[in-house]
Amino acid sequence: MSASQNLLAVEIKEAKRNFGNVTALAGVSLEIRAGEFFSLLGPSGCGKTTLLRIIAGLDALNGGTLKIGGVAAAEIPAHQRPVNTVFQSYALFPHLTVGDNIAFGLRMKKIAPAQIKERVAQAMSLVKISDLAARFPGEISGGQKQRVALARALINEPQVLLLDEPLGALDLKLRKELQVELLQLQRRLGTTFICVTHDQEEALVMSHRVAVMNAGRIEQLDSPKNLYEHPRTRFVAQFLGSCNLIAGNVTAINADALVVATPFGVLGAGRRNSSRPLTMGGAVTFAVRPEKLTLLAARLADQPNVIPVRVEDVIYNGAETQYRLRCGDHTLSAVVLNASHTNGGFKPGEEIFAHLAAEALVLLDD
């Protein structure tokens, strides 16, 4: 990166953490830019929460370095770090009112009571819970608790806000609402948000950049669009959305294209700048998103990358229709948007054709 270090909110190098024999972090390096909405995405046990707790100071590194705002932070105790956390279960103090919960951080800093009162009122209006000040956490709903936890953390004006599965405990509709709100809040405040989630949609919707983690490592760090359109590994391809994986062997390598023999026939694909060296006859794997398949009733002459398939299953989903297609011993899934009558409308047992455009075939590294 060209800019100086103060543009980095968090800098982690070779972070390692073991719990007994279990490796939670196997050497993670990460740079999170100031003002960024950054997500750590992965299945449970991938080390994302451990990483968040290390940034918060609630867990310690076994190896590697951590900088927050350009300052070495590994030795700074949690209560002196310029970060605040929204905990997974919110961890609101049950014996304090909502107002006192939000004021807690400022009280610890011995801020003048008049100022505390004013800032609590501001924080509460920021997250739209101004009328809840006198209630106790046991008396409010899950969504409201989430807002209280957010206000309690944000009132301290942290350099970095850490969110541990912030919407995990809420029902789907509320979650979608709050996703948008959280995103707007972050864009408005400009605070660096680091969010841990196992929900891929949440990560895609809210983040500027996402690090997909697996087994204590970062599999891929990219913008949501790149992650989805150009996954580098099978894990990323399958963890984000659904994906067809097509294995094959290289039969020709051109300057900008690749010809591969697959169980579905010979397919031409674009040559992405893969980190993997390509050799003639070498095994490769492509990822193809189901919605990138085009289903055709008849084959056009000379059209490449078209394979004959039989419709096995049709699942109508309202906005879209999912097809399971069979070609020999292999299956493919396809999704067709129910936008018109021209596309789709196929029935189980029908023999049709699927077009896999060259640009839809994403070459994977593994």
Residues forming contacts to another protein in the complex (CB under 8 A) are 56-58, 77-80, 83-85, 87, 89, 91-95, 104-105, 108-109, 152-153, 156
Within 13 Å, how many C-alpha atoms sit on residue 23's CB side? 11
For residue 158, the minimal CB distance to another protein (Å) is 9
Phi and psi torsions of 235, nearest 5°: -60, -50
For residue 112, the minimal CB distance to another protein (Å) is 16
Measured CA to CA, the distance from residue 198 to residue 23 in angstroms comes to 19
Q: Would you tell me how many other CB atoms lie within 10 Å of the CB of residue 192?
A: 24
For residue 110, the minimal CB distance to another protein (Å) is 10
Output b/e per residue, 125-145; b: 16+ Cβ within 10 A: ebbebeebbeebbeebeebbb
Q: Which lies closer to another protein via its Cβ, residue 90 or residue 239?
A: 90
Question: Among 112, 180, 190, which Cα is nearest to 158's?
Answer: 190
Q: Which lies closer to another protein via its Cβ, residue 58 or residue 357?
A: 58
Q: Which lies closer to another protein via its Cβ, residue 57 or residue 290?
A: 57
Q: Which lies closer to another protein via its Cβ, residue 105 or residue 143?
A: 105
Instruction: Look at the block and give the residue holding tokens 């983040």.
Output: 207
Question: Among 221, 223, 235, which Cα is nearest to 365's?
Answer: 235
For residue 87, the minimal CB distance to another protein (Å) is 6
Q: Which lies closer to another protein via its Cβ, residue 2 or residue 80?
A: 80
For residue 279, the minimal CB distance to another protein (Å) is 52
